[in-house]
Amino acid sequence: MQLDPFGIGNTFFKIQQAWLRHPQQQMEAQRELAASLWMLNLNALTALAGGNAKTAEKPAHGDERFHDPEWQASLGNSLMVQHYLAYTRWLERTVYDTPDLDSKERHAGAFWTRQWFNALAPSNFFFTNPVALNKAMETRGASLAKGVEHFLADLKAGDVQMLGNEAAFTLGKELASTPGSVVFRNELIELIQYQPVDKKVHAMPIVIAPPWINKFYIMDLNEKKSMVRHLVKEGFTVFMISWKNPGADMADNTFEKYLLKGMLQAIEVARAITQAPKVHAVGYCIGGTALAALMALLNRKFKPTQMPVAHWTLLSSLADFSRPGEIEAFINEHSLATIEQLMEKQGYLDKKQMSSAFRMLRPNSLIWHYVVHKYLYGETPPSLDVLYWNGDSTRVPRAMHTFCLRQFYVANNLARKDAIVLDGHKLDLGRIAQPLYAVGTTEDHITPWAGTFKTAALVQGPVRYVLSTSGHILGIINPPGATSKREFWAGDASGATDSATWLGDQRKQAGSWWNDWCAWLREGCGPLQASPPVGLPDYPVLCDAPGTYVRET
């Protein structure tokens, strides 16, 4: 298992056996490849003869590996790239089209094929990268020397291919700087209450549950990109959960405990401080999945008038895991056994083990881009707040993570009526009657938007769905302003089952979806009234935001 933790060998053995049972189809696929490569060579001969040859294979939109003009400056480089693209696309397509193999195995095979050929791209090697060669000649080897320096520094730091400059940011200053106070702390969470900007705020507070696999300040980056700061300026009282970074002593903390002593406890504290009977709850990524489970649990336990949550928001969150995206390639019995062995030994899944898997979902932008620019070009990576946050991930405790993998990704039990029991109650998302505002993003590689859309058909209450351009992070952290390049679609999705049909009925809008969200929140969060105190005698201010848990490594 240590040699092949994801069961890649087993996947490709099944693919090989399947193709051996279909020799005729195999020959047809090989003829297709031969014809494609022959056309590339014919175009090259035409160009050598002075003819007008067209580039038959071009990089996909957004593929920046061969964007530099140097790749097209010579016929040899151009032909090398075209051969690479042609063979890669053919093989990935062929693996995906393997006959008589279930879709999960075909998806996994195509995923690992893509990983392998992304690693073998000519851009990743010095002698086949014309940009790297030219830089080395122009700098008389200084770019190579700098690249070696970067590599040795990353090796010493224990993170080869470190994404950014950690020294450029300090929590509470450049990041997570919105004024606030920690008003509650237990063994799982610190709860931050942010200071109001005006004397009057909307009556109903907002409680945000970020994912526990990263730290909360992705929602409170710098002043211009902070979702928290934007909500406060719009007149909302905001509470933020900051999850503790667990060690081996927290190995037995369960998903149920994260819900009851984490999220529900935060909601109760917010209600007590603001004297509001209900709150608006927000969940991001796996925090949103947990919020969906909590909403199902609360709708079992309470009558509608007693519900502590009036309405809720899901940000890039799955409740139906039938198509969880490319992460599905990591989910099989072989890989789960490996992960569970690691967690049994450590008590948790380490943040480096977690982040490595997520980087592999977007290898060209999160792995090979930095390998090329840092080590081959000798460039210093930019100091970007999102990259700093991306590297500041957390551990996850064994019991809770095992539950999430088995119950959500493997069995898809959250989407099944009464299949999960928490706190003595069977969960049924169909009992959730509170209005939902759900957001997905067009380029999400972690929670594909078509998957997040499925929640609309699982819940009973009205649903407003928003699709934002960009990916899992930048599609959500998308502040309004003249510089915003984003667009979005928004409309009613109550009971809808077909995401493509819904999208076809919507009008694309320019700018940030945050304005649409705040307008929706204002309708449900009550009239303006005097802002509540920050903390109470029963919930005294413990320290200034961003607190202590967020600083744990």
Do 399 and 343 contact (CB within 8 A), yes or no?
A: no
Residue 159 has pLDDT above 80, yes or no: no
Pair (387, 457) in one structural domain: no
Calculate what percentage of the chain has a pLDDT beyond 70. 97
Residues 470 and 532 in one domain: yes
Sign of CA dihedral 530, 184, 259, 299: negative
Cα torsion 41, 62, 448, 192: sign: positive
Q: Is residue 339 part of a domain?
A: no
Give catalytic residues, as residue numbers.
285
Residue ranges of E strands in 481-539: 487-492, 509-510, 528-530
Per-residue model confidence (pLDDT) at position 144? 95
Do 490 and 465 form a contact (C-beta atoms < 8 A)?
yes
Q: What is the reported pLDDT for 279? A: 98
pLDDT at 353: 76
The mean per-residue pLDDT over the stretch 147-158 comes to 87
User: Does 188 reside within a domain?
Assistant: yes
Per-residue pLDDT band for 358 (boundaries 50, 70, 90) equals: confident
pLDDT for position 294: 98
Distance between CA atoms of residues 84 and 112, nearest Å: 16
Residues 156 and 97 both lie in one domain: no
Place of tokens 């077909």: 498
Quote the pLDDT of residue 53.
66
Query: Whole domain around residue 116: which residue ranges?
Result: 8-138
- Whether 160 and 121 share a structural domain: no
- Give the confidence band of 427 by pLDDT, cuts at 50, 70, 90: very high
Query: Confidence band (pLDDT; 50, 70, 90) for 157?
Result: confident
- Which pLDDT band holds residue 435 (cuts at 50, 70, 90)? very high
pLDDT at 161 over 90: no
Establish if 156 belongs to a structural domain: yes
Confidence of residue 534 (pLDDT cuts 50, 70, 90): very high
Could you tell me if 148 and 130 lie in one domain? no
In a domain, 18, yes or no: yes
Report the pLDDT value the prediction gives residue 56, as an integer from 0 to 100.
77
> How many whole angstroms from its chain centre is CA 396?
16
**pLDDT band at 354, cuts 50/70/90?**
confident
Same domain, 366 and 458: no
Give the pair of three-digit tokens for residue 104: 């999960």
Reported pTM: 0.92
Predicted pLDDT of residue 425:
97
Q: Mean pLDDT of all residues in the chain?
A: 93
Give the total number of structural domains in the chain.
3
State whether 505 and 436 are in the same domain: yes
pLDDT at 391: 83
Q: Is 203 helix (H, G, I), strand (E, B) or coil?
A: coil
pLDDT at 1 over 70: no
Question: How much is the pLDDT for 162?
Answer: 56
* 481 and 534 assigned to the same domain: yes
* Structure confidence at residue 163 as a pLDDT band (50, 70, 90): low
User: What's the pLDDT at 351?
Assistant: 80
CA 393, CA 390: separation in Å to the nearest integer?
Answer: 6
The distance of Cα 221 from the centroid of its chain, to the nearest Å, equals 17
Q: How many angstroms separate the Cα of 543 from the Cα of each of 180, 196, 231, 540, 548?
A: 9, 17, 22, 9, 8
Least confident of 167-176, 249-258, 371-380, 430-439: 167-176
**Do 68 and 148 sit in the same domain of this protein?**
no
Dist CA 379 CA 304 (whole Å): 58
Tell me, what's the pLDDT at 483? 60
Residues 157 and 122 in one domain: no
Same domain, 126 and 153: no
Q: Provide mean pLDDT across the span 204-223.
A: 95
Same domain, 134 and 153: no
Cα–Cα–Cα angle for 508, 512, 518, nearest 5°?
110
Buried b (16+ CB within 10 A) or exposed e, 60-97: eeeeebbeeebbeeeeebbbbbbbbbbbbbbbbebbbe
Instruction: State how far the Cα of 381 lies from the Cα of 384, in Å rounded to an integer.
Output: 9
In a domain, 346, yes or no: no
pLDDT confidence of residue 160? 55
Let me know if residue 402 belongs to a domain: no
What is the rounded CA–CA span in Å between residue 222 and residue 315?
Answer: 20
- Buried b or exposed e, range 272-311, using 16+ CB within 10 angstroms: ebbebebbbbbbbbbbbbbbbbbbbbbbbeeeeeebbbbb
**At residue 403, does pLDDT exceed 60?**
yes
- Residue 51, CB-side half-sphere exposure with 13 Å CA sphere: 10
Whole-angstrom distance, CA of residue 508 vs CA of residue 48 = 46
Residue 400 lies in a domain: no
Asked if residue 497 has pLDDT above 90, the reply is yes
For residue 408, the model assigns a pLDDT of: 97
CA distances from 422 to 45, 290, 416 (A): 68, 12, 14
| Residue 451 located in a structural domain | yes
Work out the average pLDDT over 249-275: 98
Q: What is the mean pLDDT of residues 307-325?
A: 96
Helices (H) and strands (E) in the chain, counts: 20, 17
Tell me, what CATH number does 308's domain have? 3.40.50.1820
So what's the pLDDT on residue 164?
Answer: 57
pLDDT computed for residue 61 by the predictor: 82
The C-alpha atoms of residue 308 and residue 264 are separated, in whole angstroms, by 9
Instruction: Tell me: cis bond preceding 546? Omega within 30 of 0 counts.
Output: yes
Q: Which of 531, 525, 526 is nearest to 280 (CA)?
A: 525
CA dist 311 and 324 (Å) reads 25
pLDDT of the residue at 482: 59
- The tokens for 24 are 């005729």
Please tell me the least confidently modeled range out of 111-125, 285-299, 476-490: 476-490
| Under 8 Å between Cβ of 393 and 213 | yes
pLDDT at 365: 85
Question: Which residue from 390, 381, 488 is spatially nearest to 438, judged by alpha carbons?
Answer: 488
**pLDDT 10s digits, 17-54:** 999 999 999 999 999 999 999 988 888 888 887 777 67
Residues of the chain with pLDDT > 90, as a percent, come to 76
